[in-house]
Amino acid sequence: MLWERQAAAPENYPTYGRHDRAGCLSCGSTMEKRVVFKNRILPYILVAPQIAITVVFFIWPASQALVQSFLQEDAFGTSSAFVWFDNFVGIFTSPEYLHSFHVTLVFSISVAGLALSVALLLAVMADRALRSATVYKTLIIWPYAVAPVVAGVLWYFLFNPTVGMMAFFLKKVGVNWNHTLNGTQAMTLVIIAAAWREVSYNFLFFLAGLQSIPHSFIEAAAIDGAGPWRRFWTIVFPLLSPTMFFLIVVNIVYAFFDTFGVIHALTRGGPYYATNILVYKVFNDGFINLDLGGSAAQSVVLMIVVITLTVVQFRFIERKVHY
């Protein structure tokens, strides 16, 4: 229904996002809200800056990476040979790369899972009007203002096996903390450090989502005898699902791409490749080892992975989301 109506609309009408449309459907008037541009060129001029930015900062570098991934050249680019899929064959036959894939999967799912669950817990707690709620909220939002590398360094000092305060306390309670040699500890550390920052971001969205849930629903459920646990899972959680869905996508993308700084500051991919996630490997092979072809091939694979992931999420998971 909705889609048919959409297709019938004149081409150059600015259209609303699906969220709004769904919203309008429920109030029964789709057409009234549309704004019509009389000038045929104006819309293009208005979107031009955004398109220019996308082309310069995304399309162009991405296409460069694509070209580079088929070449084998020395660092200075003085000799260059077209090698077809050699670079791709190279990475997929490398056990180190396949291991890195596995590490990335564990890392990304853990980071997203941890960041989402902690943020949700904090948001639910902040939503119950506390006396000093504002202070509480501000404090939780703070970490998001800290640059990833700085955050990495802070965690590094806390957990440094020799001089770190947390390492000291852990040793007191009998945990032999040495993430420079223990892969599991290193992984745990980078997951916590990466998720820490994302908790703030998720918290903001969850809190906004929670505050938009009408209180009458919850009150009605309470009158019907539903306990807090039941009220949360049957009312609050489903109504939060659009927020949840959005955050899952954002968090997975964050864990895949944005966590470079944390890894670089804390473990540099070690010990023994335990935290060598794909995006760090791209950096390491490209910028430290100057293997531009191999590094470009990896970034192309990474790009395909994230595009696929996002498409899958929108195609299949979004259907289960209530708006």
Partner 1 sequence: MKHLRKFKMALVAATLMALPGLALAAPITINWWHAHGGVLGEKVNSICEGFNKSQTQYQVVPTYKGSYADTMTAGIAAFRAKNPPHILQVFEVGTATMMAAKGAIKPVYEVMKQSGLPFDPSAYLPTVTGYYTTTDGKMLSMPFNSSTAILYYNIDAFKKAGLDPAKPPKTWPEAGEVAKKLVAAGASPVGLSSSWNGWIHLENLGAWHNVPFGTKANGFGGTDARYTFNSPLYVKHIQQLADWQKDKTFIYGGRTDLGNAKFNSGEVGLYTASSASYAGFKKTCQFEFGTAMLPYWPDQKGAPQNTIIGGASLWVLNGFKPEEYKGVAAFFNYISSPEVMADWHQFTGYLPITKAAYELTKKQGFYEKNPGTETAILQMTLHKPTENSKGIRFGDHAKTRDIMDNEFEAIFSGQKTAKQGLDDAVKAGNELLIKFEKANK
Question: Total binding residues for partner 1 by CB under 8 A?
Answer: 30
How does 19-46 read in b/e, with b if 16+ C-beta sit within 10 Å? eebeebeeeeebeeeeeeeeeeeeeeee
Minimum Å gap between C-beta 36 and partner 1 is 47
Residue type at 211 in one-letter notation: Q
Minimum Å gap between C-beta 161 and partner 1 is 8
Other residues' Cβ atoms within 10 Å of the Cβ of residue 158: 16
Minimum Å gap between C-beta 147 and partner 1 is 16
The candidate with the shortest Cα–Cα distance to 166, out of 137, 146, 145, 196, is: 196
The answer to whether 121 and 232 have CB atoms below 8 angstroms apart is: no
Based on the shown chain and the rule CB under 8 A, indicate whether residue 93 belongs to the binding site for partner 1: no
The answer to whether 279 and 259 have CB atoms below 8 angstroms apart is: yes
Site pattern 65..84 for partner 1 (x: CB under 8 A): -------xxxxxxxx-----
The answer to whether 118 and 199 have CB atoms below 8 angstroms apart is: yes
Q: Find the binder of partner 1 among 109, 141, 166, 180 (CB under 8 A).
A: 180
Close Cβ partners of 275 (under 8 Å, ≥ 6 residues apart): 103, 107, 183, 186, 187, 190, 263, 266, 267, 269
Based on the shown chain and the rule CB under 8 A, indicate whether residue 174 belongs to the binding site for partner 1: no
Minimum Å gap between C-beta 136 and partner 1 is 36
Site pattern 142..161 for partner 1 (x: CB under 8 A): ------------------xx
| 13-21, 61-69, 217-225, 267-275 -> range binding partner 1 (CB under 8 A) | 267-275
Q: Up-side HSE of residue 136: CA atoms within 13 Å toward CB?
A: 15
Based on the shown chain and the rule CB under 8 A, indicate whether residue 188 belongs to the binding site for partner 1: no
Residue tagged 């629903």 (tokens): 217
Residues numbered 116-135 forming contacts with partner 1, rule: CB under 8 A: none
Minimum Å gap between C-beta 72 and partner 1 is 6
Based on the shown chain and the rule CB under 8 A, indicate whether residue 183 belongs to the binding site for partner 1: yes
* Closer to partner 1 by Cβ: residue 209 or 271: 271
Residue tagged 């191999």 (tokens): 294
State the residues that interact with partner 1 by CB under 8 A: 72-79, 96, 160-163, 180-183, 268-273, 284-285, 287-291
